[in-house]
A and B are shown apart, each in its own frame.
Chain A
Amino acid sequence: MVAEPSPKIVIVDESPIRAAILEEGLREAGFTGVTHISEMHNLLARIYALDPDVILIDLENPSRDVLEQMFQVSRAVRRPVAMFVDQSDAASIQASVDAGVSAYIVDGLKKERIKPILDLCVSRFNAFAKLQDELDRTKSALEDRKVIDRAKGILMKLKGLTEDEAYVLLRSTAMREKKKIGEIAQSILTASELLK
């Protein structure tokens, strides 16, 4: 069996980390011809110069509408672009929109060759979203810890408590008020600012 050449893939994404994650995944799966475009200026000209078979773009990118122009029969376009031309592709669209990515495929590329690219793309985008989410949570946990430490300091100073006692007071107040410890700590900080 003669292997078909790897399709040329362009990733249009302003997030360098997400693009790197996707690019790595595609390379691992054996797709070698992957290029990342992060600069939106003159996007179509850049894409025409690369002449890709598949274009992947994130949905937060306003330049997605620019790509829609490639559907049009125009002298500027060498190869027509098609995306999900039949109704059976509705599920693919759903999965990719949910993940926050869209794919444009140049006519002539076989459907079974597109599927693994798209699946990989969706899973990597979902993985990135999860990573981002975890990062945000870690950040806010760190932020909380700082606030709690400062609130403990204030309680220790004003009420003559030990560190453990200050923490117990914060925690029991949070439980009574049905709030997070971080929120109670923040209100102590705000109050102490006001009373300065």
Chain B
Amino acid sequence: MTQPLCIGFIPLVDAAALIVAVDKRFTEAEGLDVTLVREVSWSNVRDKLNIGLFDAAHLLAPVAIASSLGLGHIRVPIVAPFNLGLNGNAITVSPALYAAIMAEIDGDRFDPMVTALALARVVAARRKAGADPLTFGMTFPFSTHNYQLRFWMAAGGVDPDEDVRLVVLPPPFMADSIANGHVDAFCVGAPWNSIAVDRGAGHILHFVSDILVRAAEKVLAVRQNWSEKNPQVVAALIRAASRASEFIEQPQNRAEAAHILAQPGRIGVDADVIKRTLDGRLKISPDGTMRESNRYLLVGREEAGRPDPMQAAWLYAQMVRWGQASISPEAIQIARSVFRPDLYDAALGRESEPAGTFGGIGAFAGPPFDAEDIAGHLKAFAIGRWKP
């Protein structure tokens, strides 16, 4: 008996575990007959998952939480039984903004506090000169990219709502938009930063792992009521995705994984660019400067696949900080329970929780995140849109 499933995804490298699970037939081995549907917008993925055209989806972690809370759209409870990736985004700036920031740098250029303070000086100088505010592109209002950009610049004293413009841009349009001056910078997932660098249109200023050591990025999302009706199917999906994430993390499999992901119906960009992302070895400047990090994108290592409710709480805290959500104990509980380590553990036959050896969010600014006291935690940040 095979179970037909329709799963939506956006062409991004952090869909790797899902795509490889299907194309390496790990899902088939679990008795699932999966049709992957490539989508053009997060709104489409959300809507098609919500109304049941998709059984599951590659989804921005904050969208799963927003949908469960009914923010910006009808409320449809979503659960995330598998985390498709940690980190993986980067901030890319135009050559002109790069030069302006570097001229103001006082310290290590890879230290996000140093660059955020330099950005604040650039912003102040532009204001004084009567120039237009800088424009930053990100992918969706409820996105890690939005929160990561805001967290970074606010730490340096730049108010993301007052001092600059933040605009939503579809990822495939990012490179063009920075090349034609429509935006001065953007935060996006792979491969779009590399594509802008390869075109000579941008410099990668930061990997988001500079800003947050460990940040939930995309999840495998299903409707809560569907997961309750189909527990065996959900477990099979978790096992297939987990097997794929382990496959991808083996360095000797990376070329094959990159080849699978590069196919036109999947991500559809050069396999070499994808492999650089999986290896965490990126060209960060058009002159060929390379940067390597073992934290760029985590697909399966360091328990990356296990959904962590603390991560959901952090994302919810950002929604509160920037005025997207009001704070309440019920909402915190709903947000946390979107991430389902219990389903993950049960599917993989794990008896007990792993010891928390891989640590928390690890943000470069502010006190360590306290999921038990979000209001108290947010008071430590000067810039924000919420009222205690």
Contacts and interface: CB of A to CB of B under 8 A. Distances in A.
A66 B168 contact: yes
Contact of A83 (B51, B73, B182): B73
B191 to A, nearest CB: 16
Interface in B218-235: none
Contact of A66 (B161, B170, B385): B170
B43 A97 contact: no
Contacts of B301: none
A40 B167 CA distance: 14
Given A63-B170, A94-B51, A97-B47, A76 B75 contact: no
Contacts of B385: 73
A87 B42 CA distance: 20
A177 interface: no
A60 interface: yes
Contacts of A75: 161-162
A86 interface: yes
A91 to B, nearest CB: 9
A177 B226 CA distance: 43
B142 to A, nearest CB: 8
B141 interface: yes
A79 interface: no
B165 A42 contact: no
Contacts of B41: 59, 61-65
A84 interface: yes
Interface size class of B (residues with CB under 8 A): 20 to 34
Interface string A42-71: 101000000000000001111111111101
A90 interface: yes
Contacts of A62: 40-41, 170, 172-173
Contacts, number: 77
A71 B53 contact: no
Given A62-B41, A65-B41, A102 B47 contact: yes
B4 interface: no
Given A65-B43, A66-B169, A84 B141 contact: no
Interface in A109-155: none
B44 interface: yes
A41 interface: yes
Contact of B182 (A41, A59, A73): A41
Nearest to A95: B51
A39 to B, nearest CB: 13
Nearest to A83: B73
B11 to A, nearest CB: 11
A72 interface: yes
B43 A102 contact: yes
Contacts of B50: 93
B377 interface: no
- Chain A CB within 10 A, most for which of B42, B51, B162, B172: B51
B170 A71 contact: no
Nearest to B72: A71
Interface of A: 40-42, 44, 59-69, 71-76, 83-87, 89-90, 93-94, 97-98, 102
Given A62-B40, A84-B73, A97-B51, 6 more contacts: A61-B41, A68-B72, A68-B140, A74-B161, A89-B74, A97-B44
9 contacts: A65-B43, A68-B168, A69-B141, A69-B168, A71-B72, A72-B72, A87-B75, A90-B51, A97-B53
